Amino acid sequence: MGEARRRALRGLQPRQVKAQVPIEELKDRVCECSCKAFTQVYGLKEIPSLYSPSGKMETMMLHVGFVCIACGKLMSLTAGQELPGTGVEGTGKDDGDGEKKPQEESNLVKLGG
């Protein structure tokens, strides 16, 4: 049984810890390409009508993570942790010569393709 549940059963209020974190002193997470900007990435899953509450085929969104907007690398939310599959298909960095660098294979699953 968890601490919050135990406290609730005893009629105690949940503990609330307020920490004042100076944002300007926190270290920025930076991609290997030196970019500091990331975008959220979602995967889509098809739910067969057999499992769907409506009885019809539906689509479900799953949050995959955050991807560097410059190089397309999937960023881990745990500092220092590498993720398998480093690129997201359909992205690439253009060095100004008109050609995009090829991306490494993605760990995202293509549905319906």
Both tokens of 48, joined, read 């067969």
- 28 or 89, which is more confident? 28
Q: What is the pLDDT of residues 55-112, one digit of tens each?
A: 999 999 998 889 999 999 988 777 666 665 545 544 444 444 545 444 444 444 445 4
Alpha-carbon span 74 to 64, nearest angstrom: 9
Inter-residue long-range contacts of 54-62, CB under 8 Å, 24+ positions, other chains counted: none
- pLDDT of 5 > 60? The answer is yes
Average pLDDT over residues 2-29: 81
Domain range list for the chain: 20-107
Classify the phi-psi angles of 108: left when phi > 0, otherwise alpha if psi is within -120 to 50, otherwise beta. Answer: beta
